Amino acid sequence: NAGVTQTPKFRILKIGQSMTLQCAQDMNHNYMYWYRQDPGMGLKLIYYSVGAGITDKGEVPNGYNVSRSTTEDFPLRLELAAPSQTSVYFCASSVGSGGGTDTQYFGPGTRLTVL
């Protein structure tokens, strides 16, 4: 199993450009997540999905969009990139068990710089 994979590893964008961060998992997990990690801070949830075709906002969704057309893939779209979106982005997945005891499995991250 590859686990959770993310592409690209690094990207530099100019202000106003758009891009899609790719995320895939091969563990047949129902739940998937996008987090961002700012320097010296913990991770903040951007969007999440509890299954194919179902997505919802997390704590910091502004400036982002997601889709979940398959169980495996959960791309994150940045429209009109801004310097405030400079961050490290992590995708994660979990089985989706009830009771909040899920272990989340994280990808290696995408480091994005907006200049």
List of residues contacting another protein (CB under 8 A)? 4, 31, 33, 35, 40-45, 48-50, 56, 58-59, 90, 92, 94, 96, 99-109
Other beta carbons within 10 angstroms of residue 42's beta carbon come to: 7
Q: How many CA atoms lie within 13 A of 27 on its CB side?
A: 20
Shortest separation between residue 1's beta carbon and another protein, angstroms = 14
Least gap, CB of 84 to another protein (angstroms): 19
* Nearest to another protein of 40, 62 (CB atom): 40
Please say which residue, 4 or 21, places its beta carbon nearer to another protein. Answer: 4
Least separation, in Å, of the C-beta of 75 and another protein? 17
Per DSSP, what are the bridge partners of residue 51?
54
Closer to another protein by Cβ: residue 82 or 95:
95
* DSSP, residue by residue, 56-93: EE-S--TTEEE--SSSSB--EEE-S--GGG-EEEEEEE
Q: DSSP 3-state assignment of 10?
A: strand
Burial class (CB in 10 A: 0-12, 13-18, 19+), 78: buried
48 vs 85, beta carbon nearer another protein: 48
Least distance (Å) between residue 59 CB and another protein = 8
